[in-house]
Amino acid sequence: MSLFIFDVGGVFRDSSKAINEGYKKGFLAAGLTYKFYPEDIWHLRGIGKYNRSGNCIKALLAMQKTNYNLGKITHDANAETKLDEIIKINSNNKDEKTAILIREEYKKFFNSEEANNLIKIYSNAKNNIDILHKMGYKLAIFTNSSISTVKRDLKELGLNKFSLIVSEEDVKNKKPSGEGIEKIIAEIKENKKQTFYVGDSVVDIKAAKNAGCKSVALLSGMGLEIHIRKENPDFVFGNLTEMTNYFANANTKMK
């Protein structure tokens, strides 16, 4: 029976408002104004290296000095390259220390119980997991987030249905490295060809390919379709329900 390994943000939870609030608190702590919107920050995190909070903050600090519209840039097919150029032109040595301060404030907030109030679990997430679990599929989680936020936010899914949860504390290399996926495959003893990594961003697709398993991209999270499609994932679905329906119907063929 096949193994499904899931990312968390953008797959099970919408943490866009919590992420945005964390960055806002960081900017204010650094004595800076904050002019960004949750949706734009969410989509920024879906673009390549900007999935990392540190890189995202550097981009925001550079953007703050320009008149560019972040929303327009994230929807550009060459967004990652454009962001790289904006940072190169608009950053200085002082920004490095500022970015560290902002990230510390962001992490402190995002890992707090207060942040949980701004996080929304996608409707039908629990139902979809229940369906896959009852059909006998093996389930696991690999996320760049901390194990504390996984336990905090996903209690209603029934974490006992997942054979293994691998978080940022369990790997040396975060995504796009496939280390976490390979760790799960090895411990559960599943064939890579029968393993599917389900994510919502560019780094998720790259991690799946680096691990040698199938990549499943959902368009309900951080990653915009224009960036997702460029990575040529094995499967693309609008959301977790579409994915579940597809594999539930294909169950007999995959056994």
Can you give the CATH number for the domain in which 194 is found? Answer: 3.40.50.1000
Q: pTM of the prediction?
A: 0.94
In terms of domains, do 130 and 230 share one? Answer: yes
Domain boundary residue among 86, 116, 146?
A: 116
Number of separate domains in the chain: 2
In terms of domains, do 111 and 129 share one? Answer: no
Domain boundary residue among 66, 95, 116?
A: 116
In terms of domains, do 97 and 125 share one? Answer: no
Confidence of residue 253 (pLDDT cuts 50, 70, 90): very low
Residues 211-228 have a mean pLDDT of 97
The domain of 90 spans 16-116
Domain boundary residue among 99, 116, 133?
A: 116
pLDDT value of position 1: 75
Does residue 255 carry a pLDDT above 70? no
In terms of domains, do 160 and 248 share one? Answer: yes
> Quick one: residue 152, left, alpha or beta (phi over 0 = left, psi -120 to 50 = alpha)?
alpha
Extract the tokens encoding 236. Answer: 């693309």
pLDDT value of position 157: 93
* φ and ψ of 3, to 5 deg: -110, 130
Does residue 252 carry a pLDDT above 50? no
In terms of domains, do 135 and 240 share one? Answer: yes
pLDDT above 90 as % of the chain:
96
